[in-house]
Amino acid sequence: MTLTLTDELEQFVRDEVKRGAFASNSEYVRNLVRERYLQERSRAARMKALDEALSRGIADAEAGRTIPIDEAFKTMRETLRREAGTRS
């Protein structure tokens, strides 16, 4: 694989290697790609979990398994209050 960088970016990479942050230009680029790859995997996993939660919520609503909004907010406030108390 060949990469083309602007002069400014190329100098930045060389400077990072010179200061000892990385052993080579290739290591620096691999590290950047790895970080981005892991971020994308994490984002994809979060999106999948969100889609699954939404599907469950829609199925519950369609099946009539709902509670009034004021009751839901009361329960959430109580849960958050308890969790905040355990962190203090």
Residues 45-68 have pLDDT tens digits of: 999 999 999 999 999 999 999 999
Q: Kindly report the pTM of this predicted structure.
A: 0.66
Residues 16-49 have pLDDT tens digits of: 999 998 999 999 999 999 999 999 999 999 999 9
pLDDT higher than 80, residue 88: no
Confidence band for 10, pLDDT divided at 50, 70 and 90: very high
Q: How far apart, in Å, do the first and last CA atoms of the chain sit?
A: 52
